[in-house]
Chains A and B, each alone.
Chain A
Amino acid sequence: MAIKQKTKSLKARGEDLSNTFFQLDVLNGKQVTDAKFTPFAKKIGEAGFTTLTPTTLEIFQLNIGKLCNQTCTHCHVDAGPDRKEENMDKATLEKCLKIIASVPSIHTVDITGGAPEMNAHFRWFVEECSKLGKKVINRCNLTIIVANKKYFDLPEFFAKHKVHIISSLPYFSEGKTDSQRGDGVFQASIKALKMLNEVGYGKEDPDLVLDLVYNPNGAFLPDDQASLEKLFKRKLSTKFGISFNMLFAITNLPISRFLDYLLQSGNYEEYMEKLVNAYNPMTVQGLMCRNTISVSWDGYLHDCDFNQMLELKVATNGSQHLDDFDLEKLKNRNIVLNQHCYGCTAGAGSSCGGEIA
């Protein structure tokens, strides 16, 4: 099913914001805007955290590439069909597997992108993780399943390996979904969801989990996750006969293409103010960066996928890459913080698993 893209990647457009240093300057009031907000690192001090440190490493998250069949207007990865260069090769995936196998506390391998399924080694990698007995999460944009016949059997493949599917669906109607993700995305997503339901996903089988991700379609914060989940379940069931397990409400972080949208639409300052005012110290303890390592396509290590996209590598002396992975050094690091972190601590908090507090 064809998708008409809403935009091009910042990189393809040659925008200043495709430079991560420029993005960080904007967030710190040194470029485009002089709006300054209390530094996040200072803010968490109020909750008694002088620094933010990791807990046990449980989730090994890999961003296996920026190649995607969609160019969503809010994408923090700046992914798209033009991002063909930045994709993880087999040698790097093999290094990941070695680490995943050697660290018993890693119980989950979380695969994201881009559209991870477009990486040539995706299926092999999932099979290998499955052999290791690790839980595999795949962050699927849904439309890839119906994009080309070579992907049509993905639901069966996922089911065979009990892959936990987490899929973005910003809304239960066409207009709002397509305005964020591209014309045709909603219909393609509905078709893909039905295919996943057909093989048993999103129903009673505890091994076939299908969770959806809601992220606001504009410059506002998500509402209470439970209420939204109830609403999505009712609408998707009555309109399309679709079922799913949980809805994760995720806040859009002010980086990359969402930052571009905020600046272009004149919403940047007000949005940052909303994030800062909604700061909830109860979320700090459960931030995902504390039990996760995020690996980029070229093997560098980061505290989370957002830091990865800002090219903020882990602050360790000598363990910033898969080649010199040192669990002890990583345990003793301080997590790298910046102003975008307010996105994860606003309201009920936000993580790759939805609300925190």
Chain B
Amino acid sequence: MTNNVNLRKMADNSYFKPEDLKKFGDITKWQETLGKKFFEYYGEVFKEGALTAREKALIALAVSHAVQCPYCIDAYTNTCVTKGAEEEEMMEAVHVAAAIKSGATLVYGVQMMNHNNKISM
């Protein structure tokens, strides 16, 4: 088997298929009431409000990275670019997510220190 065929086979077996994002709406087929409520809520959240739609897109981009959702990363990269976000702003948003994620890990260092102190002489 050539490398290309291997790569294609891997892509076919991937859990992440970009084209699946277009089928997101299909989740209502198996539970219409809850699905519809979700999409109504989702649409409402991203409307222009106290925060602009552009600011919300940058927050969503950061959260997408924090939850490591490839669909969301594609979707909110598109939205940010469309809404005129600068590349620097987008990367800063990702750094905000990264800082919170790493901070959330490091803050457990205090717990480790506490426990270490408790069991140590």
In the complex, which residues of chain B have a beta carbon less than 8 angstroms from the beta carbon of A227?
Answer: 48, 52-54, 83-84
How many residue pairs at the A-B interface have CB separations less than 8 Å?
28
- Contact, CB under 8 Å: B82 / A216: yes
Q: Report how far A173 CA is from B89 CA in the complex, Å.
A: 12
Binds B, one of A152-160, A188-196, A218-226: A218-226
Whether the pair B54, A220 counts as a contact (CB closer than 8 A) is no
Q: How far apart are B93's CB and chain A's nearest CB, in angstroms?
A: 16
Known contacts A227-B53, A227-B54, A231-B54; A222/B82 CB under 8 A? yes
Cβ of A223 and Cβ of B78 under 8 Å apart? no
Chain B 40-60, CB-CB to A under 8 Å as 1, else 0, gives 000000001000111000000
A228 on the interface (CB 8 Å rule)? yes
A228–B84 CB distance below 8 A: yes
* Minimum CB distance partner of B86 in chain A: A173
Question: Interface majority SS on A: helix, strand, loop or mixed?
Answer: loop
Give the size category of A's interface with B: 10 to 19
CB-CB under 8 A from B81, the residues of chain A are 216, 218, 220
Q: Which residue of A lies closest to B81 (CB)?
A: A220
**What number of B residues sit within 8 Å (CB to CB) of A?**
11
Q: Complex formed: what's the CA distance from A222 to B53 in Å?
A: 14
Q: Can you list 26 A-B contacts with CB-CB less than 8 angstroms, sorted by A residue number?
A: A171-B84, A172-B84, A173-B86, A175-B87, A176-B87, A216-B81, A216-B82, A218-B81, A220-B78, A220-B81, A220-B82, A222-B82, A223-B82, A223-B83, A223-B84, A224-B53, A227-B48, A227-B53, A227-B54, A227-B83, A227-B84, A228-B83, A228-B84, A231-B54, A231-B84, A232-B84
B residues neighboring A (CB under 8 Å): 48, 52-54, 78, 81-84, 86-87
Bound-state Cα–Cα, A89 to B40, Å = 58
Residues of A within 8 A of B82 (CB): 216, 220-223
Query: What 6 A-B pairs have minimum CB-CB distances, sorted nearest first?
Result: A223-B82, A223-B83, A231-B84, A220-B82, A228-B84, A220-B81
A172 contacts which chain B residues (CB < 8 A)?
Answer: 84
Residue of B nearest to A175 (CB): B87
Nearest residue, chain A, Cβ from B87: A175
Chain A min CB distance to B82 (Å): 5
Task: Tell me the complex Cα distance, A223–B87, Å.
Answer: 17
Q: Complex Cα distance A176/B84, Å? A: 10
Q: Cβ of B54: which chain A residues have Cβ within 8 Å of it?
A: 227, 231
Which of B82, B83, B84, B86 neighbours the largest number of chain A CB atoms within 10 Å of its CB?
Answer: B84
CB distance from B79 to the nearest CB of A (A): 9
**Cβ of A223: which chain B residues have Cβ within 8 Å of it?**
82-84
In the complex, chain A residues 222-248 whose Cβ is within 8 Å of any chain B Cβ: 222-224, 227-228, 231-232
Considering the complex, give the chain A residue whose CB is closest to the CB of B79. Answer: A223
A246 to B83, CA, bound (A): 17
B53 proximity list for chain A (CB < 8 A):
224, 227
Q: Apart from A220-B82, A227-B48, what are 12 other A-B pairs with CB-CB below 8 Å?
A: A171-B84, A173-B86, A176-B87, A216-B82, A220-B78, A220-B81, A221-B82, A227-B53, A227-B54, A227-B83, A231-B84, A232-B84
Bound: A191/B83 CA distance, A: 25
CA distance A277 to B19 in the complex (A): 15
Q: How far is the CA of A258 from the CA of B81 in the complex (A)?
A: 18
> In the complex, which residue of chain B has the Cβ closest to the Cβ of A277?
B22
Residue with the highest number of chain B CB atoms closer than 10 Å, among A171, A173, A218, A223 = A223
Residues facing B in A172-229 (CB within 8 A) are: 172-173, 175-176, 216, 218, 220-224, 227-228
Rounded to whole angstroms, the CA-CA distance of A96 and B87 in the bound complex is: 45
- Cα distance, A231 to B48, chains bound together (Å): 14
A150 to chain B, nearest CB (A): 35
Instruction: Name the distance in Å between A177's Cβ and chain B's nearest Cβ.
Output: 12
Bound complex: CA A224 to CA B84 (Å) = 10
Min Cβ gap A250→B in Å is: 14
Chain A nearest CB from B14 CB (Å) reads 18
**Shortest distance between the CB of B23 and any CB in chain A (Å):** 14
Least CB distance from B71 to A in Å reads: 15
CB B68 to nearest CB in A, in angstroms, measures 24
A323 to B83, CA, bound (A): 46
Complex contacts, A216 vs chain B, CB 8 Å? 81-82
Measured CB to CB, the closest approach of chain A to B57, in angstroms, equals 10
Which residues from A are CB-within-8-Å of B78? 220
Give the complex CA separation of A222 and B81 in angstroms.
9
Complex CA distance for A48 and B53, rounded to whole angstroms: 34
How far, in angstroms, from A224 to B83 measured CA to CA in the complex?
8
